[in-house]
Amino acid sequence: MIRVAVIGAAGYTGGETLRLLLQHPNVDAASIVAVSSSHAGKPLAEAHRDLLGWTDLLFVADVASLTGIDAVFLCMGHGKSAEWVRQHPAPRGTRVIDLSHDFRAMSPDHPFVYGLPEKYRQRLTTATHVANPGCLATSIELALLPLCERGDMTGDVIAHTISGSTGAGQQPIDTTHVSWRHSNVDSYKVFRHQHEAEIKQTLGDVKLHFVPLRGPFTRGIYATCVVPGVFDAAELGQLYTERYHDHPFVVIRDTPPDVKSVVNTNMCHIGFAASEQGVLIVSVIDNLLKGASGQAVQNMNLMFGFDETSGLRTKASVY
């Protein structure tokens, strides 16, 4: 059993990470360290009511030492992880998984490996530091990776994502207010979203035109990618099935993917519609699980040599 700390444990990704770790067969649930300066001394259920009855653990203000901690999840806001890592050097043997964007740009200046298991699984098995991918980036990367690897991305690619309000984090802002979000859709950061850099890092020199949209729901991402060219949907289904056959969280569908089929899971469902002009690839994930905490636990499993699916066999909230 390993000992785990979650830094920034009172937010959405911190709460989902705690939920997964508390029932993980390889984690010592009683020794989980949940760090939150705003909730120190309070029960976990004070911030996460879905954990009522699960645990008697309390939040702590900080972790004095990482000695004896096997894995650390950084669930803080963007820009805070780099400073935290600088102030809390990890002892030899302690693995660090960062859910912010601070280390997603791979560089010899830091030890973090980009944590997309469907591309970097082997590197992740020996990694000590992992930069968890962004949620929108994950949905697009998984949609396009097989075509990119085959060299079929020669034209302009149009990508849209519709994401739930939890993707904006727990701190309320105007565009997460219920009166704005309900029955509404709008675009933001068109052609300049911060996830574009990691998408291109993963897929290569792609002519990507990325339009992110805010949707009128709380969690989930519905991504569509239009790739020009002549494609056959059945042949693409075979290509994608073969590419992802040993990746347990990617499912290739012969029916149109929908968000409810993946919410509350670490799954990514992919489907296609092809014509003489191009192909539409649809990818759906839960932004808080495969797009954040679930993928982080998946990376932890790989780093420690656990079964990749440990703690992640959850059921979708379809109804």
Domain span including residue 120: 4-132+292-304
CB 280 within 8 A of CB 225: yes
Is 148 in the active site? no
What 8-state DSSP symbol labels residue 244? T
> At 92, which CATH number?
3.40.50.720
* pLDDT tens-digit readout, 13-38: 999 999 999 999 999 999 999 999 99
- Pick the catalytic residue: 75, 135, 225, 268? 135
Residue 185 sits in the same domain as residue 247: yes
The confidence score (pLDDT) of residue 172 equals: 55
What average pLDDT does the chain have? 92
297 located within any domain: yes
* pLDDT tens-digit readout, 158-183: 999 998 877 545 555 565 556 566 76
pLDDT value at 200 more than 80: yes
> At 281, which CATH number?
3.30.360.10
Show the tokens assigned to 224: 């569509």
The confidence score (pLDDT) of residue 118 equals: 98
The confidence score (pLDDT) of residue 174 equals: 60
Look at strands 95-98 and 33-35 and give their pairing: unpaired
The confidence score (pLDDT) of residue 164 equals: 83
One DSSP character per residue, 172-238 reads --GGGSHHHHTT--EE-STT--TTHHHHHHHH-S-EEEEEEEE-SSSS-EEEEEEEES---HHHHHH
- List C-alpha distances in Å: 45 to 9, 15, 19, 73, 180: 11, 9, 11, 19, 28
Global pTM value: 0.94
Q: What is the mean pLDDT of residues 247-273?
A: 97
- Which residue carries 């014509």 as its tokens? 275
Residue 252 sits in the same domain as residue 270: yes
Residue 166 sits in the same domain as residue 259: yes
Q: Into how many domains does the chain fold?
A: 2
215 located within any domain: yes
Q: What is the mean pLDDT of residues 94-113?
A: 95
pLDDT value at 189 more than 80: no
pLDDT value at 269 more than 90: yes
317 located within any domain: no
Residue 86 sits in the same domain as residue 35: yes
The confidence score (pLDDT) of residue 166 equals: 74
Residue 186 sits in the same domain as residue 241: yes
Task: State the Cα–Cα distance between residues 26 and 301, nearest whole angstrom.
Answer: 9
Torsion angle in degrees (nearest 10) through CA of 152, 107, 103, 91:
130
Residue 267 sits in the same domain as residue 160: yes
The confidence score (pLDDT) of residue 51 equals: 94
The confidence score (pLDDT) of residue 180 equals: 63
CB 27 within 8 A of CB 53: no
Q: What is the mean pLDDT of residues 78-105?
A: 93
* pLDDT tens-digit readout, 296-311: 999 999 999 999 999 9
The confidence score (pLDDT) of residue 196 equals: 87
The confidence score (pLDDT) of residue 233 equals: 87
